[in-house]
Structure 1
Amino acid sequence: MHLTSPSSPRPQRVRLPRYAAIAGGAALLFGLLLTLVDHHWGPLARLDQGWTGGLHDVARGHAAWTASLLTMTALGGPTAMRILLALAAAWLWAIGARTLAGWTAAQAVVGWAAHRAAAALIARPRPSFADPVAHAAGPAFPSGHATASAITTAALVALVWPRAPRSGRIAACALAAGATVLIGFTRVALGVHWPSDILGGWFLAVAVLGSTTVVVELLRPGALSRDVRRVDWRTRPRVQSVLASTVPFPELPPPGKLHGEFEASDSDPR
């Protein structure tokens, strides 16, 4: 999911049906999965028990592996993910991209509220072992780690997308997907979640991202796109300054033209 591109200011409203469809589809899949979990559907229950039991046996027999899982799951916890979103929102607010800052902060708040509400629906018990390698409190479905990590990584990718080249976008998406999958895997491997809990967290995250974007755009049409261009405008001089310092003899425009460009930038209504 990306918001817009500063070089191609296509109206955000054009993408609203797409975002609404993504949010609705993810919510539908989440509801279906929740129903299967609540009714203890046999094939899903066997898959959950097989994966969780097998991975927990591996963790129980390898202390170093378990320690690495505990470290990764701590770094990717909901609190750490929300701190990342809060820092991004604070920076956006500081440079004047207020709607984009609100959108970023809303991902953390709405994601937390949606997870709490969903977890209370069926209060699914967590896996139980005689000799557990890790402990976690609260209902199992959906996974809070999976929900928070998917929301955070997707939101951060959406923020860097407009300024990144094609290679940067591919790298950002690969890094975000890898981190999200890895965090989800640690929860199952440590025996504190079922695989369907992780899948449910991912579905819920997509629903939150899509629905939040639609609501913000309906309340403030075009504001997200304008803020993306504002971020581009506010950060471009610094980026160009760094790039210019690496060139021995940069080719500068005539002083009068350069002065005129600065005046135009200062009067930019965006």
Structure 2
Amino acid sequence: MHTPGLRLLPPAVTAIVFAGLTIAVAAHAGALIHADAALVNSARSASLDHPALHSLMAALTRTGGSAVLILAGLVTVAALLAGRLWRAAAFVVVAAVSTTAVRWAVRAAVARPRPAEQLAPAEGWAYPSGHTTSSTLAALVAVALLLRLVDPGPRRSAGIAVVTVWAVGVGLSRVFLAVHWPTDVIGGWLLAATVVPLCAVAIRLRD
């Protein structure tokens, strides 16, 4: 069993990287802004040139929407409570509330505009990406529950692989649809990768 200190190391690293990225975004670092613009323009062009790619990205984005993830979260918590898995249910709630609260606070503080020529409807400030943060939160919660509740084997490995690929895909879809800058997506990945493991340690999910 890992000690709490070792469990805190990965989120400590992601927290430092997230803080550095957030400072760079808020400061409008020139190299970062240019790289973001070049990448989002390339991704947008690829979506326009390949209708199948655009359709795939649009479908992935829909799976990372608030309505889908809130419903999935409520069903998960209800199932855990029905199974008397109190600590696991508390972890899901605390991780969701904490990650969302931090995202809202950072988004309001940075107040970064979105790309101008969007290929999908989107509103609000850009950094960090809400779809990316929420889907990564959901994926990390699913991984934590799989590690806690499912015995090692192909089923657990497949589940972890599926939710990981899905969360990465949702993040990429936001860039291909030109509703977020690449660093918005990276920030969402880092934010969830920081807060969710900290919540698991706080709830003592693995004990």
Q: Same fold (TM over 0.5)?
A: yes
Question: Match of 2:76?
Answer: 88
| Aligned match of 2:37 | 49
Matched, 1:40 2:28: yes
CA apart distance, 1:213:
1.8
Do residues 165 (structure 1) and 152 (structure 2) align? yes
What residue number does 1:142 align with? 128
The answer on 1:199 being equivalent to 2:186 is yes
Q: Which amino acid aligns with 2:162?
A: L
SS at match of 2:3: helix
Distance 1:141 1:77 in 2: 16
- How many residues align structurally? 206
SS at match of 1:115: helix
Q: Deviations over 1:141-190 (max 9, x none)?
A: 00111111111111112212242333333322221221111101110000
Q: Which residue of 1 aligns with 2:104?
A: 116
Is the contact between residue 27 and residue 207 of structure 1 (CA under 8 Å) also seen in structure 2? yes
Whichever of the two has the greater Rg, that structure is: 1
> What is the one-letter code of the residue matched to 2:94?
A
Does the 8 Å contact 2:200/2:206 carry over to 1? no
CA positional deviation for 1:64: 4.2
* Amino acid in the other structure paired with 1:136: A
Give how far 1:96 is off: 1.1
**Among candidates 145, 162, 175, match of residue 188 of structure 1:** 175
Matches within 5 A, 1:66-77: 66-77=54-65
Is 63-72 or 197-206 further displaced after alignment? 63-72
Q: TM-score, normalised by structure 1?
A: 0.71
Aligned 8 A contact 1:78 1:149 in 2: no
Q: Does 1:211 align with 2:198?
A: yes
- How far the C-alpha of 1:135 sits from its partner, in A, is 2.3
In the TM superposition, what is the alpha-carbon distance from 1:225 to its structure 2 partner? 4.7
C-alpha separation between the residues in 2 aligned to 1:15 and 1:149?
28
Local SS of the residue matching 1:159: helix
Q: What is the alpha-carbon distance in structure 2 between the residues aligned to residue 96 and residue 78 of structure 1?
A: 27
TM-score by length of 2: 0.91
The Cα of 1:58 is off from its aligned counterpart by 2.2
In 1: Cα distance, 2:74 partner to 2:95 partner: 10
Q: Does 1:154 align with 2:140?
A: yes
Q: Percent identity?
A: 30
Q: Distance in 2 between matches of 1:111 and 1:80?
A: 17
- 1:82–1:152 Cα contact (<8 Å) kept: no
2:115 to 108, 127, 137: 127
Report whether the alignment pairs 1:102 with 2:90.
yes
Structure 1: stretches of 5+ with no match in the other structure: 1-9, 218-223, 227-270
Q: Per the alignment, do residues 225 and 54 of structure 1 end up closer, same or farther by CA in structure 2, a change over 3 Å counting?
A: closer
